[in-house]
Chain A
Amino acid sequence: MKVSDLSTRLGFEAICAPAGDADVTDGYASDLLSDVMAKAGDGSVLITIQAHKNTVAVASLIGIPAVIICNDRPVPSDMIEAAEAEGVALLRTPKTQFEVAGTLYPELRG
């Protein structure tokens, strides 16, 4: 699926949608950034509550095209700026990490 599917088809609120609609090939849910670094595969969407710019740095370094911020956590403007600069999509949802993972699982692994 494409990054744009996350907002248009699955209804997550798009906060930052960089040009060039990247492919999403897998998913990873974690709030530990070192764990994300070690385990999340290239092309994975990251499901997390870590709404700060370091999450964008990690995503950009290991090739994560999109980050979904759960529980409607507020997204600070410097995180959005970083995401725009790095070309990482940011989305937000009131759902929990568990619910988002459930929604995406049939799409990406089903």
Chain B
Amino acid sequence: MYPGVGLWSIRFHETIGPMVSFPIDTEGGPQVVLELIYRLKVKDVMKRDVITASASSSLRDIQLSMRDRGITGVPIVDGDRLLGIVSIGDVIQALDGGWIHELAADRMSTAIIVLEDDMPLSFAITYFNRYGYRRFPVLDKNASLVGIVTAADVLRALLIEMNREVEKLEEGLAGRAAAARDAAAPAAAGDAGGAGLTMSFVSRRFDFENAGKASAELKKALRGLGVDAASIRRAAIVSYELEMNQVIHSDGGVMEFSVAPGSVRIVARDEGPGIADVEAALTEGFSTANEWIRSLGFGAGLGLPNAKRSSDRFELSSSAGAGTTVLAVITYQERS
């Protein structure tokens, strides 16, 4: 998913210890899980308080440190530079082989696989699955040791985040059920309908992190169907503008796409707070966005007019206090 990343060194260290495997598909898993393992960074889950030792420590010192602290791996450092690592496997071998009194410098593993603090959590999961080590030292951009990640750290972070995501999903489902109940939605009977593909994405207020993903998926689907480039572009513009409107102005909403052979139907539905003056909202240059949203390059009062201009059919129903529903249909220009 991240082609071309190769900024960090990949080296090898101890191979003793049971393989830790995370049954998580980092490329094709459920969208919610993918979102969180790409949103979370290694630095969000790592332990920052790393217990280290110097190269002049004996393996015996390190063994005692492991016992006292209940840890299974000790990075060997010079200041904040990582020199090597001594694992509990190395200590067991030293006890067996009779070199427990020797220096870490002579017995540590010096070829180490490291993570970078800015990498997405997906990398840590991939590394655990790929290399089978039980811990990875974490370096920052300047190659300073800033943390260490164990499988337990990853599991704890995943559980906490998955709980949050499930809560959000439950809220979203309740909201959609409510919306469906009072949906005399004027737009509900579609033109595009039929046997096509339907997709639905939840958007959240001020979630600029994930904004645009629904549109990217729509674009992918249309491309897969061989829809002409100009129509894909129009659909992407409509979808992105409506998606951004939900992120910027609504309390969260749902983007629904019905992709049919001759056209695509986009329904953007949110749960409020609604648009007080619909006519003004459709006027170029009119905006209610605040300063920081404008500083990101949004909120210039171009979004809805853009979306309308790029649609073949565009219906907006909203009122202050209630939600907003937009139906947009893009009819393909040509089949290729």
A-to-B contact residues, CB < 8 Å:
18-19, 31-38, 42, 48, 50, 52-55, 57-58, 60-63, 77-78, 81, 84-87
Contacts and interface: CB of A to CB of B under 8 A. Distances in A.
A63 B1 CA distance: 19
B10 interface: no
B236 interface: yes
A52 B296 CA distance: 8
Interface string B256-269: 00000000000000
B302 A35 contact: yes
B237 A57 contact: no
What are the 5 tightest A-B residue pairs by CB atom distance, in nearest-first order?
Answer: A57-B212, A34-B302, A33-B297, A61-B236, A50-B297
Contact of A61 (B4, B118, B212): B212
Contacts of A42: 229, 233
Interface centre among A18, A55, A61 (most CB of B within 10 A): A61
Main secondary structure of the interface of A (DSSP, over half): helix
B216 to A, nearest CB: 7
B240 A57 contact: yes
Interface residues of B, number: 29
Nearest to A36: B297
Given A42-B229, A61-B236, A84 B306 contact: no
Contact of B300 (A32, A58, A60, A62): A32
A71 to B, nearest CB: 14
Contacts of A54: 208, 211-212, 296-298
Contacts of B209: 53, 78
Nearest to B237: A37
A54 B306 CA distance: 17
Interface string B202-231: 000000110110011001000000000100
A57 B240 CA distance: 9
A76 B309 CA distance: 33
A18 B216 contact: no
Contacts of A18: 3-4
B241 interface: yes
A19 B241 contact: no
B211 A38 contact: no
Interface in B1-47: 1-5
B120 interface: yes
A81 B39 CA distance: 11
A44 to B, nearest CB: 12
B233 A62 contact: yes
Contacts of B297: 31-34, 36, 48, 50, 54-55
B302 A62 contact: no
